[in-house]
Amino acid sequence: MKLSIVILNYNVRYFLELALKSVEAAISGIDAEIIVVDNDSSDTSCQMVKTIFPKVKLVENKENFGFSKGNNIGVATAKGEYICILNPDTVVAEDTFVKLLKFAEAKSKLGIVGCRLMNGSGTFLPESKRNIPTVKVSLKKILGNSQDYYANHLSQEDQGEVNILVGAFMLIKKSVYKAVGGFDEDYFMYGEDIDLSYKVLTAGYKNYYYGETTVIHFKGESTLKDRNYARRFFGAMQIFYEKHFKQNLVFDMVVWVGIKLAFIFRKRNRKTYKAITGYVFVSNTVNKALEAKLPVKLSLPTNYLQLNIMLR
């Protein structure tokens, strides 16, 4: 088998359905499997997968094991030569896997391949390609200078070597994933992708960004509501520094101060963003479950159905 797509899900049933539909279309003609690992969701995610996607391999965890362990469980059951780690709140293009597999096959010492990610409003997500977040780079980012944090030597349409890729979409050979130990389970959520990317680099492999295909990432629907996001993220970064950059007491103090400064600047420099209140989903079939969630009755103009999905 050429490819296994591993999707870790937690309480995002409708996003998961969209993701699975896009993946099914994208693997047409590829010897591939889809694995959904559910981290003990309380919604109807598992029932939806069983009913609508009976060919998908479903792993139902009895507790929320977090991002690292959840994905490691999925990869352990995978049969593909390549693994794709994919977030449930994503939509892949029909050419995504065909293009990326062709790109990957042409590379030697291949580590991880990532691609261009855009949010639901069509804005490029710069975390699609990043540099190693050393303490100096991270402190500069906290102070408002992210020039060295993101891999700006490549445009969003380019392709080339980068250091760090984002966990929302990662393509990697299973043999490489196993060789570096997969995701480090000391991380529960956030920082795992940085850690894995760095381990792959230090093992002698090369990571690549490929900007000729696009994946929509609805930017963590389940994590946007997490009030502890900042604390967990910077806590994860502290784990990363201790594992890979720990040198002496002075260095540790700089890391500690930097993480504390992050909280201060996060509070003082809050930015105002336009809230996305809904998405327009166009389909030639009626989704009864989705229709039941909408505040107004739907009509079917011409041959297509337009669903105005309001977010709560």
State the total domains in the chain: 2
Segment 32-37 mean pLDDT: 99
Q: How confident is residue 292, by pLDDT bands cut at 50, 70 and 90?
A: low
pLDDT digits (tens, 9 = 90+) for 166-186: 999 999 999 999 999 999 988
Question: Do residues 7 and 89 lie in contact, with contact meaning Cβ atoms separated by under 8 Å?
Answer: no
Does residue 253 sit within a domain? no
Query: 41 with 166, same domain?
Result: yes
Query: 192 with 305, same domain?
Result: no
pLDDT digits (tens, 9 = 90+) for 94-103: 999 999 999 9
Q: What are phi and psi of 21, to 5 degrees?
A: -65, -40
Does residue 242 sit within a domain? no
* Domain carrying residue 301: 278-310
Residue 71 pLDDT:
97
Does residue 294 sit within a domain? yes
Query: 286 with 187, same domain?
Result: no
Res. 227: pLDDT tops 70: no
Instruction: Among 205, 220, 235, give the residue marking a domain's end.
Output: 220
Does residue 295 sit within a domain? yes
Segment 217-238 mean pLDDT: 63
**If you average pLDDT over every residue of the chain, what do you get?**
83
Question: Do residues 234 and 264 lie in contact, with contact meaning Cβ atoms separated by under 8 Å?
Answer: no
Q: What whole-number percentage of the chain has pLDDT above 90?
A: 60
Instruction: Among 204, 220, 236, give the residue marking a domain's end.
Output: 220
Does residue 167 sit within a domain? yes
Query: 198 with 295, same domain?
Result: no
Instruction: Among 220, 254, 270, give the residue marking a domain's end.
Output: 220
Residue 242 pLDDT:
78
Query: 290 with 158, same domain?
Result: no
Query: 201 with 284, same domain?
Result: no
Question: Do residues 188 and 67 lie in contact, with contact meaning Cβ atoms separated by under 8 Å?
Answer: yes
Q: How confident is residue 190, by pLDDT bands cut at 50, 70 and 90?
A: confident
Residue 312 pLDDT:
35
Query: 188 with 282, same domain?
Result: no
The string of DSSP letters for 52-111 reads H-TTSEEEE-SS--HHHHHHHHHHHT---SEEEEE-TTEEE-TTHHHHHHHHHHT-SSEE
Q: What whole-number percentage of the chain has pLDDT above 70?
A: 71
pLDDT digits (tens, 9 = 90+) for 92-139: 999 999 999 999 999 999 999 999 999 988 999 999 999 988 877 766
Q: What is the pTM of this model?
A: 0.79
81: CATH: 3.90.550.10
Does residue 108 sit within a domain? yes
